[in-house]
Structure 1
């Protein structure tokens, strides 16, 4: 699957690339785990449909009652149609310079905080809904004061969210300018609890699959496929020993496409089929 460089694919006709801009995104078919290289921080104001984003250590899902602020980076995202058979959101991009200027103007200091998550979920309310209706790429196209208007819109939503969420949002904004990068081992080991494929984990590590495999063997002294399978099968055994779940409940979560393959791998690993786990 090709990598989508966002927002570059939306601003091919804008030179130089702006520090703040809005893009109206519409889609009429589901897209599952598309690879996205997000080079600017971005608000996703989802209006119709559902969105899920996979990060290095977890995933977050939002609906049209929520908005999402995403840190720039390599992410996998899934966009699903709603009953209206369309997916529609407004994307509001801003550069680190814009954010740094804002933080310097309205907060106490500008220094990097280490964030816990690369996203912030925003619960929509009447004010945010009204704000979203004022955002449209057509409104700000080829207008003499477009840049100034967008700068005001950026300050408006940021100030409102600071007022709504207080310190939690302020600290998150500071974390967006942090240059910290998640360690390789943290990304790999957090993937045990997901059903991500090796290629997808490599992408989240900002590596090609071949580079990822070489780096993995250096760190763990065995191939990533075997290591990950063993860890996930051990997790499956723990889940089954809990007594509340069956193999049919967990095989997808463990990274298998069908129950038969999972049962075979489990028996090869532990000598008994998953149905005999006590």
Structure 2
């Protein structure tokens, strides 16, 4: 458990799999989140919870220098201890959205200001106050929105879901097959077996081909630049993207002629 700010933003913004519930307060700037279904946009003073075991892309509307988040990561051990200490109950939370907005309140703003005197280094809290401030934040969240207990205290593993629909919706995320298997409620071996049964192709090969087909469409029909889309489509570098594109289509993406729609 620790807080993070802009000095570690590059690492935070690369993450696409949320392993633990994450409270995010936007101290400065604007950010959007994409979960495969919807885009959520937040500005200075807004806050939300990114839910564990979900895929999320972080997209800044400005530079990293213009953006300052304050984050609290709630791991399962801490939340279990809190639940036992305060006898909190978990009601079912109806929404499956990866990002849940926390309603604006002076309680939240005051809490964020109160953290600063106990911060050391890169917004790491003094260990003597860490548990106290984490507990205070959870108490505030539950006071403001009691239904959040259904998120924070739900430690169930993902249930088995429709693999075809999930993968078609989330193929742009650059996460491991192990993560995808977990999120579809399967072991890795079961995921690979079911994937082959549905798509008649190994998952690694299918995912790369699907991303490249999407890239082809974006470049040719929407005039997007390869340098602007390779990260969006789950490729780790522009060179990796270009090599894979040429291997698939026999040309580099910059050689594509932009369609005029005729």
TM bracket, shorter-chain basis: 0.5 to 0.7
| 2:143 is aligned with 1:159 | yes
* CA distance in 2 between partners of 1:248 and 1:36 (Å): 26
* CA distance in 2 between partners of 1:154 and 1:39 (Å): 18
* CA distance in 1 between partners of 2:49 and 2:142 (Å): 11
Q: Measured at CA, do residues 250 and 85 of structure 1 come closer, stay the same or move farther in structure 2, by a change above 3 Å? A: closer
Contact kept in structure 2, 1:48 and 1:82, CA below 8 Å: no
5+ residue gaps, structure 1, are 1-6, 11-22, 163-169, 240-244, 266-272
Runs of 4+ in 1 over 6 A off after TM superposition: 210-213, 234-237, 256-259
Q: Number of paired residues? A: 230
* CA distance in 1 between partners of 2:142 and 2:16 (Å): 24
Q: Measured at CA, do residues 146 and 173 of structure 1 come closer, stay the same or move farther in structure 2, by a change above 3 Å? A: closer
Question: Aligned-residue CA RMSD in angstroms?
Answer: 5.0
1:36-185 → structure 2 map (5 Å cutoff): 38-55=18-35, 60-73=40-53, 75=55, 77-78=57-58, 80=60, 85=65, 87-94=67-74, 95-97=78-80, 100-101=83-84, 105=88, 110-113=90-93, 115-122=95-102, 124-136=104-116, 138=118, 141-143=126-128, 147-148=131-132, 150-162=134-146, 170=147, 172-176=148-152, 177=154, 179-181=156-158, 183=161, 184-185=163-164
Contact kept in structure 1, 2:91 and 2:149, CA below 8 Å: no
Normalising by the residue count of structure 1, what TM-score does the alignment of the two structures yield? Answer: 0.56
Secondary structure of the structure 1 residue equivalent to 2:22: strand
5+ residue gaps, structure 2, are 120-124, 183-187, 250-256
* CA distance in 2 between partners of 1:116 and 1:74 (Å): 10
* CA distance in 2 between partners of 1:28 and 1:110 (Å): 32
Deviation at 1:96, TM superposition (A): 3.3
Alignment correspondent of 2:252: none
Deviation at 1:188, TM superposition (A): 0.6
Deviation at 1:117, TM superposition (A): 1.1
* CA distance in 2 between partners of 1:235 and 1:217 (Å): 23
- Show CA shifts across 1:147-203 (max 9, x none): 4564344212320244xxxxxxx1x531440515163444312125x4x45xx3636
Q: Measured at CA, do residues 160 and 114 of structure 1 come closer, stay the same or move farther in structure 2, by a change above 3 Å? A: closer
Q: Measured at CA, do residues 227 and 117 of structure 1 come closer, stay the same or move farther in structure 2, by a change above 3 Å? A: same
Q: Measured at CA, do residues 55 and 275 of structure 1 come closer, stay the same or move farther in structure 2, by a change above 3 Å? A: closer
Secondary structure of the structure 2 residue equivalent to 1:62: strand
* CA distance in 2 between partners of 1:232 and 1:103 (Å): 50
Alignment correspondent of 1:205: 180
* CA distance in 2 between partners of 1:99 and 1:220 (Å): 44
* CA distance in 1 between partners of 2:131 and 2:215 (Å): 52
Alignment correspondent of 2:199: 220
